[in-house]
Amino acid sequence: MGKVWPTGKTLAATLCLGFSLGMTTAIADAQEPFGKNLEIFRGPIIGPANVVGMGGANIGLAEGSGAQSLTPAAVANRSALNGGTWFDWDWSVDWLNVGLGDINTDIENNGRPGGGNREITLINAAINFLFGRFGVGMELQAHSFGVPCTDTVCTVGYTEYSSILGGLTLGYNFLDGALIVATELTIPSATFVFYSDKEKTKKTSQAQLNGAGLTFGALWKPAELPFRFGLTARARVPAELDPSSDVLSLPIPNEVVVPWQVGLGFAYSLGPRTLNPRPSFDDTETRFKDRFAVPMWREYWLIAVDLLLYGPSMNAAGVEAWLADEVQEAGKNLSLSARLGLESEFWPHVMRGRIGSYYEPSRFEDTAGRFHGTAGFDVRLFEFIYDWRFTAGIDVADAYLNTMLSIGFWN
């Protein structure tokens, strides 16, 4: 478990036998058309501590189920740990909570002062299964806001907004694992729920917006060579009002939109450890027994870099401003982001360290982007059936602090 001071709480669980689940839910309470779209855009990176510790630079690595939210190619990528098995699986769940009254955390990076009158929860969950050269999985990124009324007389006692972005992912290893190509059926949804009281016991109405699109991912990792290249791309995905929604006199957005994005990643490893061992995709008994064996070489320095470009969202506004009955235009221009990470097992078979940084663009014209500093480490604990490890990580930026602790398998 972990804590976020002064801004929230984080719970991260990451195991090497993992799993990535993606679903879509959303409900929206409606009045009359709001006249603007709302944008689904998450700037801070929520994920396993090893991913966040390297500044989220994982498009060129694509390792672990928790990286599926960064690139679909992670669903089918074989590591040195499972490259010799026909079947394997992996899962990851990460949670960040910002409590009511916490005015120091700016999740949207919108620069709005006094944003403490809301409860915010962000969740990432993922699972993937490997069958020979195939990989299949699901991932979701959930984001919810809750705003209680602070006036003496309230038309709406409590407003709840939630969005989910995720879907089903399928990937395949071509050229004996040197090229991985994957695609995700991306299903964004948003839910608006209105309650007449602050205790959320009397729901007055709700509405839901749903959509569907595709996200593409690819990874080039030539066997026995020390580098990788990654690519991810997604078209703009709108979510529109479900006809079954209850539409009352409260305004809801015309659409909830996910902007298009293109990302490129590069990774390079220095030292005797092989970054891209040649997978066999076998299920032989000998290889299965050796799956947790210690590799011959442990020393390495791994460098990863990502560059991302996000498209505009026409006629869009920010979520927090909308919940405060205001309009703050969002996504009017292109946004550029960069991520950088470094990892090393500087104490062979005992400890790994990570350090990184990423630039989070602001989707609001009156607010500047912000730089994040990240770090983390793994420590080998003991062997009981499996080899266990303790992992910690941290992500610090202006008006944002996230700390992570987890227990998993050493490999």
Which pLDDT band holds residue 35 (cuts at 50, 70, 90)?
low
Q: 288, 70 in Cβ contact below 8 A?
A: no
- Give CA–CA dist 298/233, Å, rounded: 34
* Helical ranges in 170-296 per DSSP H: 285-289
β pairing state of 386-397 and 301-310: unpaired
Q: Which amino acid is at 54?
A: M
What residues contact residue 5 under an 8 Å CB cut-off, 6+ apart? 401, 403
| pLDDT digit string, tens, across residues 299-313 | 899 999 999 999 999
pLDDT attached to residue 81: 81
pTM equals 0.84
Query: What CATH code is assigned to 2-409?
Result: 2.40.160
| pLDDT digit string, tens, across residues 168-217 | 999 999 999 999 999 999 999 998 888 877 767 777 778 889 999 999 99
Supply 48's token pair: 């396993």
Backbone φ, ψ for residue 324 (5° rounding): -95, 15
Residues in a beta bridge with 379: 351, 390
Instruction: Write out the DSSP string of 16-56.
Output: SSBB-------B--B-SB-SSEEE----S--S-HHHHHTTT
DSSP collapsed to 3 states, 86-117: CEEEEEEEEEEEECCCCCCCCCCCCCCCCCCC
What residues contact residue 152 under an 8 Å CB cut-off, 6+ apart? none
What residues contact residue 382 under an 8 Å CB cut-off, 6+ apart? 388
Angle at 361 between CA 357 and CA 365, to 5 degrees: 155
- Give CA–CA dist 26/192, Å, rounded: 7
Average pLDDT on 228-243 reads: 92
pLDDT attached to residue 186: 94
Q: Where are the domains of the chain?
A: 2-409
pLDDT(18) > 80: no
Q: Which amino acid is at 125?
A: A
Q: Which burial class, exposed, middle or buried, applies to 331 when counting CB atoms under 10 A from its CB (0-12, 13-18, 19+)?
A: buried
273 or 359, higher pLDDT: 359
Nearest CA-CA partner of 330 in 319, 342, 339: 319
- Give CA–CA dist 11/1, Å, rounded: 5
Which pLDDT band holds residue 113 (cuts at 50, 70, 90)?
low
Average pLDDT on 328-346 reads: 95
pLDDT attached to residue 309: 98
247 or 80, higher pLDDT: 80
